[in-house]
Chains A and B, each alone.
Chain A
Amino acid sequence: MKQPASKLEKVLKSGHFAVTGELGPPKSADVETVKHHADEMRNHVEAYNITDNQTAIVRTSSIGVAATLMQMGLEPVVQMTVRDRNRIALQGDLLGAASFGVRNFLCLQGDHGKFGNEPGSKNVNDLDSMQWINAVKRMRDDNVFIGGEELEHPLPNIFIGAVANPFADPFEYRPYRLAKKIAAGVQFVQTQCIFDLDRFEKWMEKVRELGLHEKVYIMGGVTPIKSLGAARYMKNNVSGMIVPDALIDRLKGAQDKKKEGLNIAIETIQRLQEIEGVAGVHVMAIAWEEMVPEIVERAGLYPRPAVD
């Protein structure tokens, strides 16, 4: 058996409920704010997802920010979408990131370019996310590029991640799509933000029935809602996301919306810990990164396990 590729894999493997955070790179080359946020949660997460030109908006690259995190002694999960790079660039960038120590990669499709700040751009989509997952696995395990040529030296061990969305349609197909990602080579998945826990539990039921939770580490995605407007926006404008009316009503009825938003996130994480097959939580506190320590502590997940 190979040694775990990363701290994240170690924590998951040891059976601890893992915690990852998320950092969104800036629309500039000044990464001071990202460094600040990374520092804030340094004792509360195993690793940090770094988004890849998220929502098709130009930002410092995920690999660039990963280099900064590595210098800070922190562990990145480098997101790589297939939207902006063909297979040559994807494979080359993966090698580049691995060359300075990145071990967690999260392979995803990426939002369509029309949603971002370069709506006139080409959407590359040379590979799809499934093919990209499999390509990374084959580079690691079989030492070959997609085109069949061999790598000059074997890759270090890499922990392969992907996303799963229990809230997209067709709902019945979603667990099978996860199964397909597992077959392609994925080892951990992070889900879309969970606001509809009933639907998530239904999805998990099927996931367990198929035995998928024993083949992949499933990390539930949780986002603390900062305001009623944010909740409504996600409900009405973000495809593949479900925000139940009950949640909107609860926020509406609350005196302090922010406090209630935090409470909801914390309760969600507590419930996730009770669900068989959920291996961890991915906290996406976008533009609210400073709350991650409080969320993790109040959810009963602090201190983080020492695995080294």
Chain B
Amino acid sequence: MIVGDRKPLAEIAEMLQPYNKICVLGCGACVTVCLSGGEKEAAETAATLSIWRKKEGKEVEVSSETMLRQCEYEYIDELAEKIKGYDVILSLACGVGVQAMTERLSDKVILPGLNTQFFGYPLEQGVWTENCLGCGDCVLDMTMGICPIARCSKSMLNGPCGGSQDGKCEVSEDVDCAWQLIYERLGKLGVIDRMDPVQPPKDWSTSHHGGPRTVVREDARVETTSEQA
């Protein structure tokens, strides 16, 4: 999932300074699951904002809504009527949602209430970890399920580097050395010889380094086009 983290309230209050009718809009997808931008967080943010502005002597009309997915036009269209009267939408979706909303509701101001962090998953209650960079050319087959691109601080393909110690990365004691994990995993599965080949330089053109990406699926396309038209 996409993991987000709500922006500090002071920052949100600052960006909303010019507006007086505010809708805090939660998203029912990833950010609900990672407890940063769902219905509950939207309501809390709206209530806190209201108190904040009251204290500043600039009372504001603020309410909260939540929709299923801010990253799909279909759901955005359903919402359009509901949010018509607001000066601004504070979106608690990830950056994808904020931009999909902006694209679809171009006469509305949509501002971000979250810092979008990464693709990851919860390790335990309240802890999320990054494990995919969306590089466009998955190597998890080579490493048997542990990503060196996202989880090695240097994205090495021929690790571990000299900074690996006691299973930890030189960057932080809180970060596991991905290549220690890969080494152990390959050993356990009896394919330790996968460590041997010198892996050639990665083709980064499939990632963001090749420029902003678009996926086109011709088989799926016809339907979408007719629906949009």
Interface residues of A (CB under 8 A from B): 112-114, 119-123
Is A112 a contact of B211 with CB atoms below 8 Å?
A: yes
**Segment among B29-37, B108-116, B179-187, B198-206 that sits at the interface with chain A:** B198-206
Give the B interface residue count (CB, 8 A): 8
Is A114 a contact of B202 with CB atoms below 8 Å?
A: no
Is B203 a contact of A120 with CB atoms below 8 Å?
A: yes
Q: Mark B188-208, 1 if CB is under 8 A from A, else 0.
A: 000000000000011111000
Interface centre among B201, B203, B205 (most CB of A within 10 A): B205
Contacts of B201 in A (CB 8 A): 120-121
Contacts of B204 in A (CB 8 A): 120-122
Q: How many A-B residue pairs have CB under 8 A?
A: 20
Q: A120-B201, A120-B205 are in contact. List 8 more A-B contacts (CB 8 A).
A: A112-B211, A114-B205, A119-B203, A119-B205, A120-B204, A121-B209, A122-B204, A122-B209
Q: Is B162's beta carbon under 8 Å from chain A?
A: no
Interface residues of B (CB under 8 A from A): 201-205, 209-211
Chain B, Cβ-Cβ closest to A113: B209
Docked pose: A114 CA to B210 CA in angstroms: 6
Docked pose: A120 CA to B209 CA in angstroms: 8
Docked pose: A113 CA to B211 CA in angstroms: 9
Is B202 a contact of A120 with CB atoms below 8 Å?
A: yes
Min CB–CB distance B184 → chain A (angstroms): 28
Docked pose: A112 CA to B204 CA in angstroms: 13
Min CB–CB distance B88 → chain A (angstroms): 26
Min CB–CB distance A84 → chain B (angstroms): 12
Min CB–CB distance B182 → chain A (angstroms): 21
Contacts of B205 in A (CB 8 A): 113-114, 119-120
Chain A, Cβ-Cβ closest to B204: A122
**Can you pick out 16 interface pairs between chain A and chain B where the beta carbons lie within 8 Å of each other?**
A112-B211, A113-B209, A114-B205, A114-B211, A119-B203, A119-B205, A120-B201, A120-B202, A120-B204, A120-B205, A121-B201, A121-B204, A121-B209, A122-B204, A122-B209, A123-B209
Interface centre among A113, A114, A122 (most CB of B within 10 A): A122
Contacts of A121 in B (CB 8 A): 201, 204, 209
Min CB–CB distance A77 → chain B (angstroms): 29
Contacts of A112 in B (CB 8 A): 211
Min CB–CB distance B208 → chain A (angstroms): 9
Contacts of A122 in B (CB 8 A): 204, 209
Docked pose: A120 CA to B205 CA in angstroms: 5
